[in-house]
Each structure stands twice: as structure tokens, then as C-alpha cells.
Amino acid sequence: MEETTSHTKILIVLPLILAILLSPQTTAYSNGGYSADPSNPDYGTHDYIAQHALDWLPDNEKRYISDNLDDYLYGTELPDNGAAPDGIGDSFNHHVYFYSTGGLQDDISASRAQEEYDEVIDRLGSGNDCPLNPKRIKLSALALFTPTSPFSSSFL
């Protein structure tokens, strides 16, 4: 009887081990890679979130972003990609931690969102434009840090 139990365990455990070893690598949350061409950005979870954040805005407030969707989507990878021309590369700062009591422990993501917001306002006011249009790209970086933040047409 003990030998049968041993064979049963092997028949159960072996397929599980094989399934784990032979399964393709997957990620639940990803940016879809880094784009080789900013005018044709790779699409991933960050882009999906950023696009659906636009659903919360009235048409007149999202028109600027919708008209420049490629720049907006390309910008969602910049917080993770420090090698891009206008990349940020600080994915280690994309979190908010709370103590088990519910108190705030670390809100670096909120601080980073404020920094990005301040930079968007500065760039939009400067009239500075370049091939990657940092005004539009920074808007999407801001959306990644705070996907439900209201983009107001007053600064677009």
C-alpha cells in the first residue's frame, strides 16, 4: 500500500513540476517592452491603464492627449526607461506603502507625481518643443504615476 501511495504522489507532483518548468514566462503587469520607434509605441499594461484613464475625462479635456496618442502612449514607458532620450528610469519609486495600522509609511510615488506635474506645467508654459515633444510625453508619465489625476484643459 505504501508503494502505491508513493507512486500516486509522484504522478501528482511530476506533472506540476513539468508544468512549471515548461510554462512560458508571463508577467501580470508590464509596459510591453521599450519602443524602438516613439511614433509607433509598443503596447502594454501601462498603456492600457493610461488609455482608460482618459475615459474619465470629458471630451474637451482629453482632446489634446487623444490628438497626440502615440506620444502619450510612448510616454508611459519613460518612468521605467532611463535609457530613452527623455526617460526617467526610476521604477524603484513607483509605490505607496502603508503600515499595518493603516498609517502612511512611504508615498514616494505621490511625490514623484507632483514633480512630474510641476515639470509639465513648466514645459507647457515655456513653449519649448522638440522631436519627442516633452510636453505631451510628460503628461503620460504623470498619468502613469497617477492614472486618475484630472488633466485640466486650463493647462493644455
pLDDT at 27: 60
- What stretches of 1-147 show up as alpha helix (H) in DSSP? 2-22, 45-54, 59-67, 69-75, 108-126, 134-145
Q: Which of 90, 94, 74, 93 is nearest to 33 (CA)?
A: 74
Query: How is the chain split into domains, by residue range?
Result: 41-156
- In one-letter notation, the amino acid at residue 100 is S
pLDDT at 102: 92
pLDDT at 154: 36
Under a CB-based contact definition with an 8 Å cutoff, are residues 145 and 115 in contact?
no
Q: Which of 146, 144, 126, 156 is nearest to 88 (CA)?
A: 144
Report phi then psi at 85, rounded to 5.
-55, -40
18, with CB counted inside 10 A (0-12, 13-18, 19+), is: exposed
| pLDDT digits (tens), the chain, 156 positions | 566 677 787 878 888 888 788 877 666 556 677 888 888 988 888 888 888 988 888 888 888 888 888 888 888 888 888 888 778 888 888 888 999 999 999 988 888 888 877 877 777 676 655 444 555 555 556 555 554 444 333 333
